[in-house]
Structure 1
Amino acid sequence: MSAEKFDVQAFEKKYVARLEDRSLDWNVLKFQEEIDPKYKRAQMRYIGRGATANNDSNVIAAEHFTLSTMVLPAGCVGPLHLHDDVEEVFFILKGSVKALIQEQGKDEVHEIRLNERDCISSPPGVYRGIHNDGDEEALMLVMLGAVKPNLPTYPKGSALEELRIQRAKEREAIINGK
């Protein structure tokens, strides 16, 4: 009985994601930008589909978490949102941003300054967002702690929350391949 030889090319094809094979996806969160232009940002997926569940065959299949980079233009905001099932990590690669944190059921939004190579981990059940209040774009690494996180919710009564409710059915169809 002989052991199979390790196939490094097959391993590389399955487990390596190269920048040269990726492009910024300015459309994945376009629905937010259509509500308010300040929500403009782009995502580049590396591991998993993330909460948006976009079908991207160019990513490493997620086994335990998702990983992407995000470009946040100067003056733009990743709006307050809540993941009920996963923690979310923002690691600042370039630039400086304000992390926005709000407890569920509370009105006060707390701001925490994050500079290059700073990191924040937001646990499930806490509203979180990011504001690039600087003059240059910010680049972040974003990680979610599940293969297929639940679609986030937004503050009750907000235009984004109303849109989320409409899009929930569309997301399920994507995940189920319909």
Structure 2
Amino acid sequence: MSVQKMTAEEFEKTYVARLSNRKLDWNVLKFQEEIDPRYKRAQMRYIGRGATANNDANVIQADHFTLSTMVLPQGCIGPLHLHDDVEEVFFVIKGKINAMVELNGETVEIPLGERDCISCPPGVQRGVKNVGDEEALMLVMLGASKPNLPTYPPGSALEELRIKRAKEREAIIKNS
């Protein structure tokens, strides 16, 4: 149906995502936490599925990007990973994080506080670390409706697991 022919109710049902009907998904990245408890974090999806491809009927369908919030508990890390096809934006809503990027074979940390933002181009290893005294809350955007699954540093336990899970992800996308 054309957007121009939608009723206000149809438009709202299709294009509005409210906090009241979102829930934190602590399981979407649990496979990482099983490798290292410091990788614990939760995602709340608003637009699109993100790179995880978990089917969530409660999101606004994405045409060009994904948008979610991420809770990063005190002392926890979003591990280094690489998106080969999209830029990824981390916008800090609450807390203090260090963005980690790999430049010239070295991982550097860039401190970010509330309302600070970093945009990581495709092909750059990136991650985040909560260095504050409370949980951090970030807005996360990926520059495609269905980004490729990220990769992890070669030889890491996360990369080995990613290879194993890649087939599962493709089946989720294909069947939805």
Please give the TM-score of this superposition, normalised by the length of structure 1. 0.95
Equivalent pairs counted in the alignment come to: 173
Does residue 160 in structure 1 map to residue 151 in structure 2?
A: no
Which of the two has higher C-alpha Rg?
Answer: 1
CA shift, 1:5, in A, is 6.0
Question: What is the aligned partner in structure 2 of residue 70 from structure 1?
Answer: 70
User: Counterparts in 2 of 1:116-127, with a 5 A limit?
Assistant: 116-127=114-125
Measured in 2, the distance between the counterparts of 1:6 and 1:149 equals: 29
- What secondary structure does 1:78 align onto? strand
Measured in 2, the distance between the counterparts of 1:5 and 1:153 equals: 42
Segments of structure 1 that go 5 or more residues without pairing to the other structure are none
User: Counterparts in 2 of 1:137-148, with a 5 A limit?
Assistant: 137-148=135-146
CA shift, 1:39, in A, is 0.1
CA shift, 1:6, in A, is 4.8
Paired AA for residue 41 in structure 1: R
Cα deviations by residue, 1:89-140 (Å, 9 ceiling, x for unpaired): 000000010000003xx43101100000000000000000000022200000
Measured in 1, the distance between the counterparts of 2:17 and 2:85 equals: 26
Pairwise CA RMSD of aligned residues? Answer: 1.2
Percent of pairs with identical residues: 76
Question: What is the aligned partner in structure 1 of residue 170 from structure 2?
Answer: 172
Pick from 126, 129, 140 the counterpart of residue 127 of structure 2: 129
Question: CA 1:53–1:5 in structure 2 vs 1: closer, same or farther (change >3 Å)?
Answer: closer
Does residue 27 in structure 1 map to residue 23 in structure 2?
A: no
Question: CA 1:5–1:175 in structure 2 vs 1: closer, same or farther (change >3 Å)?
Answer: closer
Measured in 1, the distance between the counterparts of 2:120 and 2:129 equals: 15
Segments of structure 2 that go 5 or more residues without pairing to the other structure are none
Measured in 2, the distance between the counterparts of 1:153 and 1:5 equals: 42
Measured in 1, the distance between the counterparts of 2:159 and 2:68 equals: 23
Measured in 1, the distance between the counterparts of 2:145 and 2:101 equals: 24
Question: What is the aligned partner in structure 2 of residue 151 from structure 1?
Answer: 149
Measured in 1, the distance between the counterparts of 2:6 and 2:117 equals: 36
Paired AA for residue 163 in structure 2: I
- What secondary structure does 1:109 align onto? strand
